[in-house]
Structure 1
Amino acid sequence: MTGDPEPISAEARKALEQELSDLHEERRTVAATLKDSDEVGDRADQADEIQRADQLHRLDERIERAEDRLRQADIGGPVPTDKVGVGTTVTVRFADGTTDTLHIGEIADARDPKLVTSDSPLGRALLGRTPGDTVSYEAPNGETTAVVVSLGTPGDQG
């Protein structure tokens, strides 16, 4: 990320809101299984309670991160159209001469092979760039470059 509040696409917002809803439901379920400390029996019961309390703590942390990200997105405003940001579709030409159109997102999705997460080496290198900019990033085979050819919106992805 660039350090400034980053906007997110409508699709990413919807996915994050759904995740947040699921997390709240899971938290309610786990919290309902916690017993009053006076009711805890043998050591196995105590270990089980500790494990559920730890799970509750992890859920609370993830809920807090999701809520913070949604607040940041509200401050960040709409997806930028003049530079690469989260939610931008960008066409890049790689060092080997191939050109590809990618979508910069936050949430990895195995069903979307064109998605590049904003925290990946290529995603970080592209954030804030404009057409004509050359970026360097660490690839599996070493450092390489790419040129930003053009920007679009998620609907332009095709």
Structure 2
Amino acid sequence: MTDDTRSAAPSRTSAGVTPHGTTVPGTGCRTARSTSTRRDFTEGSEGATVTDTSAVTWLTQEAHDRLTAELTELTTVGRSDIAAKIESARSEGDLKENGGYHAAREEQGKQEARIRQLEDLLRRAVVGEAPPDDGVVEPGMVVTATVAGDKMTFLVGSREVAEGTGLEVYSEKSPLGSAIIGRSAGEETSYEAPNGATIKVTIHEAKPFQL
């Protein structure tokens, strides 16, 4: 899966129920909870006051630096390289039958989409420490839970948190994430799958993510 929002629940099947999963390779960010929840963020990455914390994305310093470097690379070298490819392909003649030209334009579109994605993410970012080790589930916590009968360990947040760790990552806005946010080890909860089935969840542990 590649959608950064990761809004679905686990992709495991139990007793014929598939809670529409969104497992992603991990990478350092979590979206801050709304102002009605336990923790709020008050400053953005540029020191500006953030009043709608539901739109804020938490990043580790490492993740912020990495994503900033990627954005810089794409907006400088990346744009220059793709412009050169397009110009080279254009010089070959008839654009209607020019596969190289169309391939380069498609690559350009994907690159610009990634640039917009990074700009939006970094604009909403708050750089800070991991959440406290208090056992309460929130973005940035690694959770061990039994979901629909399967014991699993995953990160609550988005894929920028744990790149290269192999952790499954679920958005706090997914059905699973929404069901466990604010809960602690030992608690049981449930959520409704898209097919109407009730998925039971038992939380065993919640620990801050660490590289």
TM-score (norm 2): 0.51
Aligned-pair CA distance for 1:63: 0.9
Query: In structure 1, what is the equivalent of residue 79 of structure 2?
Result: 27
Letter in 1 for 2:80: R
Query: In structure 2, what is the equivalent of residue 138 of structure 1?
Result: 193
Structure 1 residue matching 2:200: 3-state secondary structure: strand
Q: Cα 1:114–1:139, aligned 2, differ >3 Å: closer, same or farther?
A: farther
Q: Cα 1:20–1:47, aligned 2, differ >3 Å: closer, same or farther?
A: same
Q: Which has the higher contact order (CA 8 A, sep 6+)?
A: 2
RMSD: 4.0
The answer to whether the aligner puts 1:122 opposite 2:173 as a matched pair is no
Q: Distance in 2 between matches of 1:151 and 1:54?
A: 42
Aligned-pair CA distance for 1:40: 6.0
Q: Distance in 2 between matches of 1:92 and 1:139?
A: 20
Structure 1 residue matching 2:108: 3-state secondary structure: helix
Letter in 1 for 2:176: L
Query: In structure 2, what is the equivalent of residue 102 of structure 1?
Result: 154
The answer to whether the aligner puts 1:154 opposite 2:209 as a matched pair is yes
Q: Distance in 1 between matches of 2:65 and 2:140?
A: 13
Aligned-pair CA distance for 1:65: 0.6
Q: Cα 1:43–1:90, aligned 2, differ >3 Å: closer, same or farther?
A: closer
Give percent identity, aligned residues only: 24
Going by fraction, where is helix more abundant, 1 or 2? Answer: 1
Query: In structure 2, what is the equivalent of residue 48 of structure 1?
Result: 100
Superposed CA offset, 1:131-157 (max 9, x none): 1362425399x54121334432113x9
Q: Which region of structure 1 is more displaced relative to structure 2, 62-71 or 38-47?
A: 38-47
> How many residue pairs end up in the alignment?
151
Superposed CA offset, 1:87-138 (max 9, x none): 2122324453x65443224228896454223265434543x32213624253
**Residue in structure 2 matching 1:5, options 56, 66, 77:** 56
Query: In structure 1, what is the equivalent of residue 114 of structure 2?
Result: 62
Is 1:5–1:73's contact at 8 Å kept on the other side of the alignment? yes
Aligned-pair CA distance for 1:18: 5.4
Q: Distance in 1 between matches of 2:80 and 2:178?
A: 36
Gaps of 5+ in 1: none
1:76-87 to structure 2, matched below 5 A, reads 78-81=129-132, 83-87=136-140
Structure 2 residue matching 1:106: 3-state secondary structure: coil
Q: Distance in 1 between matches of 2:177 and 2:155?
A: 9
Q: Distance in 1 between matches of 2:147 and 2:78?
A: 43
Superposed CA offset, 1:43-83 (max 9, x none): 46755334423321321121111121122122x75544365
Is 1:79–1:85's contact at 8 Å kept on the other side of the alignment? no
